C-alpha cells in the first residue's frame, strides 16, 4: 500500500473514532437526531478502514501484492546454486497469514552484508514453522539466498553449507560494530519501517512515537469536536454549551429555561416558525415543545419538538380547546429567566419540570411547573412584566 494512502486511512480511522465517541456522547445527552449522523459515520469509518488496514498489513509485507501472498506455499530450502549473502536480523513480526495451519508468514527486517559494497537494510516475508522460529531472533546472523525475479527477493537459508556456517561464526566479530543502515530497495514498507527505527535497533524512536501519539490525539479530537458541533446543532450552540459547563457544574444553570441557549433557540424558532400562531410553548430542560395553530386546516393543531437547533413535526390533531394566540416574537427570554429565578430564590432545590408560555385571561403568561414530593405546584407570572400572578 502506498504510504500516502496508508496515512490517509489512518487519519480517517482516528477521525472516525472521534466521531463515534461524539455520537455516543450525543446519545447519552439525549441529542438523538444530531447524534445519529456522527455515530453512523464513525461506525462506518472504523468498520471499513480497520479491515483495510489489517489487509494492507498482510498485502503490504515487503511490498508483496496480496495476490502473490495468497499463492504462497510452505518454503523449501533455496537451491544451492542461488547467490547468498550474510545478514543480521534487526526485527521480525508475524504478519497474520497461516498456510496449512502450520506455516506462519513472518516479516523480517535484516541488514545485508554483501561481499562487495556497503551494508544495506532489506525487508522480506517468508513462511516458517513454529519449530524454526527459535532459530530466528533479533541480532541473529543468518544466510540469505537471493531470488532474482521473484516478488520476495530474499529467503532465509535454514541449512547453510559448511562454508557459510564458518562465515556465520565469524560474522559477529566482523559486523557487530556496523550500524544498521537505512532501508534500501523499492519496498515502501521497508522505507517506512527504516525511518521509524533508531540506529542499531528495530523499535520506533521515542521521539517519533511521541509524535505519532500526538497526531493520533489530534485526529481523534478533530473528529470529536467536529461531530459534537453537529450533535449540538452548530458552532454557536456548541460554544454556549461549552461556556456554560462551569455554571452547570456549580448549579447556576439548571436547564434550557435559565441558560443563555434560551435566547439563541428562541431566535432560531422565530425564523423557523415564520410568524406562526401558537397555542402553547413549553420549555423543557433541553428542548421545546410547541403547539401551533394549523395554517391549512381550521381547528387543526400541529405539535412540534425543537431540539438541538432542529424543528420537527411530532403529530397533528384537532384542537380541543383554545387559550388564545401568540407568536414566538412575543416571548421574552429575559422574562422566562426572571420567573425561574424567583422560583429558585424561594427554593434553590426546586425541581422544575417545564416552563409553559400561553395566553390566559387575556394576557400572556409564564407558568413554572415544579415537581413536589406529594403534588406538583405551578407558579404564574406575567410574561410582559415578570411579576408573579397570585390567584385570589
pLDDT tens per residue, range 109-145: 999 998 888 888 888 888 888 888 888 899 999 999 8
Gyration radius of the chain's alpha carbons: 35
**Cβ neighbours of residue 46 closer than 8 Å, sequence gap 6 or more:** 13, 16, 17, 20
User: 30 and 142, same structural domain?
Assistant: no
* Phi, psi (rounded to 5 degrees) for 325: -110, 145
User: 150 and 263, same structural domain?
Assistant: no
User: 133 and 84, same structural domain?
Assistant: yes
Query: What is the spatial distance between Cα 257 and Cα 255, in angstroms, rounded to a whole number?
Result: 5
Residue 301, pLDDT score: 92
Q: Is residue 245 part of a domain?
A: no
Domain of residue 84 covers: 67-196
User: 156 and 223, same structural domain?
Assistant: no
Q: Got the DSSP string for 44-98?
A: HHHHHHHHHHHHHHHHTGGG--HHHHTT-----PPPTTS-EEEEEEEEEEEEEEE
Candidates 136, 219, 151; CA nearest to 187 is 151
Q: Give the residue carrying C-alpha cell 403547539.
A: 291
User: 384 and 267, same structural domain?
Assistant: yes
User: 219 and 145, same structural domain?
Assistant: no
User: Three-state SS for 235?
Assistant: helix
Burial class (CB in 10 A: 0-12, 13-18, 19+), 250: exposed
Q: Is residue 121 part of a domain?
A: yes
User: 319 and 211, same structural domain?
Assistant: no
User: 335 and 289, same structural domain?
Assistant: yes
Query: What is the spatial distance between Cα 273 and Cα 259, in angstroms, rounded to a whole number?
Result: 21
User: 323 and 354, same structural domain?
Assistant: yes
Query: What is the spatial distance between Cα 175 and Cα 169, in angstroms, rounded to a whole number?
Result: 11
Using one digit for the tens of pLDDT, what is the confidence trace for 252-269? 889 899 998 999 999 999
Query: What is the spatial distance between Cα 73 and Cα 123, in angstroms, rounded to a whole number?
Result: 19
* Phi, psi (rounded to 5 degrees) for 289: -125, 125
Candidates 318, 317, 338; CA nearest to 384 is 338
Q: Is residue 243 part of a domain?
A: no
User: 285 and 227, same structural domain?
Assistant: no
**Residues 206, 210, 212: CA angle, nearest 5 degrees:** 115
By residue count, the chain amounts to 392
- What residues form DSSP beta bridges with 369? 354, 378
Domain count for the chain: 3
Residue 195, pLDDT score: 41
Q: Is residue 241 part of a domain?
A: no
Query: What is the spatial distance between Cα 302 and Cα 54, in angstroms, rounded to a whole number?
Result: 52
Q: Is residue 236 part of a domain?
A: no
Q: Is residue 295 part of a domain?
A: yes
H/E stretch holding 153 reads none
Q: Is residue 33 part of a domain?
A: yes
Q: Is residue 147 part of a domain?
A: yes
User: 349 and 323, same structural domain?
Assistant: yes
Give me the residues of the chain with pLDDT under 70, please: 1-3, 29-33, 52-75, 100-101, 149-152, 180-208, 392
Candidates 38, 58, 51; CA nearest to 9 is 51
Question: Could you tell me where the beta strands, DSSP code E, fall in the chain?
Answer: 84-99, 103-113, 120-129, 141-146, 154-156, 278-283, 288-293, 300-307, 310-318, 351-360, 363-371, 377-382, 388-389
Query: What is the spatial distance between Cα 350 and Cα 372, in angstroms, rounded to a whole number?
Result: 8
Residue 333, pLDDT score: 93
User: 182 and 75, same structural domain?
Assistant: yes
Amino acid at each position: 500500500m502506498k504510504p500516502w494512502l496508508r496515512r490517509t486511512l489512518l487519519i480517517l480511522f482516528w477521525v472516525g473514532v472521534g466521531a463515534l465517541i461524539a455520537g455516543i456522547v450525543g446519545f447519552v445527552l439525549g441529542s438523538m437526531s444530531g447524534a445519529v449522523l456522527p455515530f453512523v459515520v464513525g461506525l462506518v469509518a472504523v468498520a471499513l478502514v480497520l479491515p483495510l488496514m489489517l489487509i494492507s498489513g498482510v498485502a503490504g509485507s515487503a511490498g508483496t501484492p496480496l495476490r502473490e501472498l495468497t499463492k504462497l506455499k510452505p518454503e523449501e530450502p533455496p537451491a544451492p546454486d542461488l547467490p547468498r549473502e550474510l545478514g543480521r536480523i534487526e526485527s521480525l513480526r508475524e504478519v497474520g497469514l497461516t498456510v496449512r495451519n502450520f506455516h506462519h508468514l513472518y516479516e523480517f527486517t535484516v541488514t545485508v552484508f554483501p561481499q562487495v559494497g556497503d551494508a544495506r537494510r532489506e525487508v522480506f516475508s517468508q513462511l516458517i514453522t513454529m519449530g524454526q522460529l527459535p532459530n530466528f531472533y533479533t541480532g541473529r546472523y543468518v544466510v540469505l539466498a537471493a531470488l532474482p525475479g521473484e516478488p520476495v527477493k530474499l529467503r532465509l537459508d535454514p541449512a547453510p553449507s559448511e562454508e557459510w556456517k564458518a562465515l556465520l561464526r565469524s560474522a559477529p566479530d566482523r559486523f557487530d560494530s556496523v550500524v544498521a543502515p537505512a532501508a534500501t530497495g523499492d519496498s515502501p514498507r521497508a522505507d517506512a519501517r527504516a525511518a521509524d527505527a533508531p540506529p542499531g535497533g528495530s523499535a520506533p524512536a521515542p521521539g517519533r512515537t511521541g509524535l505519532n501519539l500526538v497526531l493520533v490525539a489530534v485526529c481523534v479530537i478533530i473528529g470529536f469536536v467536529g461531530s459534537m458541533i453537529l450533535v449540538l446543532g452548530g458552532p454557536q450552540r456548541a460554544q454556549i454549551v461549552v461556556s456554560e459547563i462551569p455554571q452547570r457544574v456549580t448549579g447556576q444553570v439548571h436547564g434550557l429555561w435559565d441558560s443563555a441557549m434560551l435566547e439563541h433557540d428562541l431566535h432560531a424558532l422565530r425564523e423557523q416558525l415564520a410568524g406562526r400562531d401558537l397555542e402553547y410553548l413549553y420549555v423543557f430542560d433541553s428542548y421545546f415543545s410547541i403547539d401551533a395553530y394549523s395554517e391549512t386546516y381550521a381547528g387543526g393543531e400541529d405539535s412540534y419538538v425543537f431540539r438541538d437547533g432542529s424543528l420537527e413535526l411530532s403529530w397533528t390533531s384537532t384542537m380541543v380547546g383554545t387559550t388564545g394566540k401568540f407568536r414566538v416574537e412575543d416571548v421574552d427570554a429575559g422574562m422566562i429567566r426572571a420567573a425561574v429565578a424567583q422560583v429558585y430564590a424561594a427554593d434553590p432545590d426546586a425541581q422544575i419540570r417545564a416552563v409553559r408560555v400561553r395566553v390566559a385571561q387575556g394576557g400572556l403568561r409564564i407558568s413554572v411547573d415544579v415537581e413536589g414530593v406529594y403534588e406538583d405546584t405551578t407558579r404564574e407570572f406575567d410574561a410582559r412584566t415578570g411579576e408573579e400572578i397570585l390567584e385570589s
